[in-house]
Structure 1
Amino acid sequence: MNQTPETVLSPAPLMELTGAFWAFKTFAAAVELGLFTRLSDGRKMTMTEVAKELDIHERPADMFLAGCASLGLLEKDGETYGNSVLAEEFLVEGRPRYFGGFVRYCDQREYPAWHHVVDVMRSNKPATWDPEKQDSVFATEDPLMLELFWEAMHSLSMYTAATLGGVFDFGAHRRLLDVGGGSGAYPIELCRQYPHLSATVLDLEHVRGIAERKAEEAGLSEAIDFTVGDFRADESLPGGYDIILLSSILHDWDEDTDRSLLRKCWEALEEGGSIIICELLLNAERSGPPAAALMGLNMVVETEGGRNYSETEYLSWLADAGFRDARVIRFEAAGANGTVVARK
């Protein structure tokens, strides 16, 4: 039987996987060079003008701009290039929804670490920090990495929080405790959507200034406060809250740590209150989706015991901790594909 072009097995998908880093590094270079910021507010430049302004040669500038255009980051009009709608919205520095922090963090910290992924799998030790010298990945004293990390998490979390606020009704709740809430992106977005809501960010001392600054910039200092705490080391969580949020927290730790935290949440939560686990959830078969599966391997590169878990595992852990009426709400956002909700 003769094979048609449609039935011939092709290595094209493998080539796409192999060259995936080309796209990322082109994107990261554009962010590092400030290309999208220079082209903001409708400004357009020719290839020669871009080369001169970015201090790069014309031959690489030609291919660089073609690459950015091919990725949907730039639009070409005659001989000039300008920002695409996507780049104008998310990649101009100083804008409220700037996503470049996440790009820079991945480029400067995670991309180099992934060069050692085979070593990580053989040693079962993270590549971005030394467990013998630090308590956790979050205890970094490097001010640049600290800034990049929280700017990255803030930009990613803001979009996810906006989606969460649309699929789960916070209207029946009054006080939110965001455990390990970092910069406070979730409380900021949720308090915007639900003005009656007040929130507390619980995190380590070195994050306090970032979270308080973000809340002030959002005009929500009266609605959002900060409590210093270590949810792993502390025997209990603060009480007085009728909803507790764990956003991209449980994938950082091993099962025993997660189960312990869920028990603390149950003990601290008001009767009738809710817990929300917001994550990139693996399916029950643990075969995908790709974003959740690959983020899980990234947790192996970045953490001592973390991995991405399936919705089935979370449902089981919640039941064991004493929660009831657990359910999964699926959605698509930049930092999560669903949430697991349960009640006390």
Structure 2
Amino acid sequence: MTDPGTPPPPHRLMDIATGLWAAKALAVATRMDLFSDLSAAPGLPVAEVAARHGIAERPAELLLTACAGLDLLVREGEGYANTPEAETYLVRGRPDYFGDLLLSLDRRYAGWMRLDEAVAGNVPTNFDPRAKESMFDEQDAALKKTFWASMYALSAPSARALGAALDLGGVRRLLDVGGGGAAYDIELCRRYPRLRATVLDLPFVCELTRERVEEAGLADRVALAPGDFLRDAALPAGHDAVLLSQIMHNWDEPTNRSILRKCHAALPPGGLIVISELLVDDAKDGPLLPALMSLNMLVSTWGRNYTPGEYGQWLTDAGFTDVRTVRFSAPGADGAVVAVKA
């Protein structure tokens, strides 16, 4: 029997402290396309992995061992093979490929390495706020494309979870505000055959999104509306529902309140608004992923992750009624705050 006076071992603290080790190992393996290699040739010997990538056997073996320790690889013969999780999410070209998101996060760890500066100064560290208004002002075209591809990987499973948890069968026209990538629109249109959607986002985002919509075979049901929901005086009308999917955490309270007022003005009476996010508990004591994502907003934006109570108050103040929260489980969102225009 354990002595109640005995302190717990520090294993959990060690797991937290070494979390970056695991993240970097996964990012390097993904950048090497290691999981795609092993999908095509399960059991590939260490020496051959090293030769394919022009590296020594020692780092090849250590990286493979680390990925096996992360339960992403298993031993097969003289080498390693993907686990079902790795085979589903880490093989390039698979429908639910997660690699773009992993690499996008890896590129932004530089800001996390300056978290002490962000905490002390209350300013983002993933970009220079003296030179740019936000991280979305990035001019590198390749980086922009990779970022929105990564957001698709995060949003698609979240959209499927939202569609299963919230009945949108009565919605005919959905306006997805800031819906770059159209992951929510594509997944929701697949689930609800009578639904049509409009993606409102910056012109260059709409151009990047067009190819994704066409590949999904939904160009006749998912429209693209170039615009700026922050600066435009009004949002496109003619929709009976508005979706704000994983964007509200990017902005501060006054900006979010302004967005909600525009949404209210754009909707007809009885129109639905859906805020899909990683929601911090009202007590602000977790859960872990929303809490850490909120801290990620400190280093990346001027926003944070908000609570259902905060969203509910803003919605009420904007003129919405019947506020409720629908919970589900997904990597990009764990719930939706829903309300109706009176």
**TM superposition score category, shorter chain reference:** over 0.9
**160, 163, 169: which one aligns with 2:161:** 163
**175, 178, 181: which one aligns with 2:176:** 178
Q: Secondary structure at the match of 2:286?
A: coil
Instruction: Find out whether 1:265 has 2:263 as its counterpart.
Output: yes
Residue of structure 1 equivalent to 2:28: 29
Partners of 1:189 and 1:317 in 2: how far apart? 28
Partners of 2:203 and 2:130 in 1: how far apart? 21
Residue of structure 2 equivalent to 1:306: 303
**172, 177, 187: which one aligns with 2:185:** 187
Partners of 1:32 and 1:231 in 2: how far apart? 34
Partners of 1:18 and 1:91 in 2: how far apart? 25
Partners of 1:64 and 1:179 in 2: how far apart? 41
Specify the code of the residue in structure 1 equivalent to 2:323. Answer: A
Specify the code of the residue in structure 2 equivalent to 1:14. Answer: L
Note closer, same or farther for the CA distance 1:215–1:18 as it changes in structure 2 (3 Å cut): same
Specify the code of the residue in structure 2 equivalent to 1:140. Answer: E
**235, 238, 258: which one aligns with 2:236:** 238
Partners of 1:5 and 1:57 in 2: how far apart? 50
Pairwise CA distance, 1:131: 2.7
Partners of 1:221 and 1:331 in 2: how far apart? 29
Pairwise CA distance, 1:80: 2.1
Residue of structure 2 equivalent to 1:91: 90
Specify the code of the residue in structure 2 equivalent to 1:121. Answer: V
Pairwise CA distance, 1:97: 1.4
Q: Deviations over 1:179-211 (max 9, x none)?
A: 000111110111111111100000001111111
Note closer, same or farther for the CA distance 1:24–1:256 as it changes in structure 2 (3 Å cut): same
Pairwise CA distance, 1:77: 1.9
Residue of structure 2 equivalent to 1:331: 328
Pairwise CA distance, 1:9: 2.7
TM-score by length of 1: 0.96
Unaligned runs of 5+ in 2: none
Identical-residue share of aligned pairs (%): 47
Residue of structure 1 equivalent to 2:48: 49
Cα pair 1:42 1:83 within 8 Å, conserved? no
Specify the code of the residue in structure 2 equivalent to 1:101. Answer: D
**257, 261, 283: which one aligns with 1:285:** 283
Specify the code of the residue in structure 2 equivalent to 1:23. Answer: A
Partners of 2:221 and 2:299 in 1: how far apart? 36
Q: Secondary structure at the match of 1:241?
A: coil
Partners of 2:179 and 2:132 in 1: how far apart? 20
**135, 141, 144: which one aligns with 1:143:** 141
Partners of 2:160 and 2:326 in 1: how far apart? 15
Partners of 2:59 and 2:164 in 1: how far apart? 44
Partners of 2:146 and 2:128 in 1: how far apart? 19
| Higher deviation after alignment, 126-135 or 86-95 | 126-135
Note closer, same or farther for the CA distance 1:27–1:199 as it changes in structure 2 (3 Å cut): same
Cα pair 1:188 1:215 within 8 Å, conserved? yes
Specify the code of the residue in structure 2 equivalent to 1:334. Answer: P
Partners of 1:64 and 1:137 in 2: how far apart? 32
Partners of 1:207 and 1:162 in 2: how far apart? 22
Q: Deviations over 1:10-55 (max 9, x none)?
A: 2222111111111111101110111011112463311222122122
Q: Secondary structure at the match of 2:75?
A: strand
Specify the code of the residue in structure 2 equivalent to 1:287. Answer: D
Pairwise CA distance, 1:169: 1.0
Partners of 1:208 and 1:194 in 2: how far apart? 23
Unaligned runs of 5+ in 1: none
Cα pair 1:179 1:203 within 8 Å, conserved? yes
The root-mean-square deviation of aligned C-alpha atoms, in Å, is: 1.5
Residue of structure 2 equivalent to 1:297: 295
| Higher deviation after alignment, 34-43 or 169-178 | 34-43
**236, 249, 252: which one aligns with 1:251:** 249
Residue of structure 1 equivalent to 2:103: 104
Note closer, same or farther for the CA distance 1:235–1:209 as it changes in structure 2 (3 Å cut): same
Cα pair 2:42 2:76 within 8 Å, conserved? no
Note closer, same or farther for the CA distance 1:8–1:122 as it changes in structure 2 (3 Å cut): closer
Pairwise CA distance, 1:5: 9.4
Note closer, same or farther for the CA distance 1:41–1:194 as it changes in structure 2 (3 Å cut): farther
Partners of 1:161 and 1:150 in 2: how far apart? 15
Q: Secondary structure at the match of 2:199?
A: strand
Cα pair 2:252 2:304 within 8 Å, conserved? yes
Residue of structure 2 equivalent to 1:70: 69
Residue of structure 1 equivalent to 2:213: 215
Q: Secondary structure at the match of 1:75?
A: strand
Residue of structure 2 equivalent to 1:321: 318
Q: Secondary structure at the match of 2:331?
A: coil
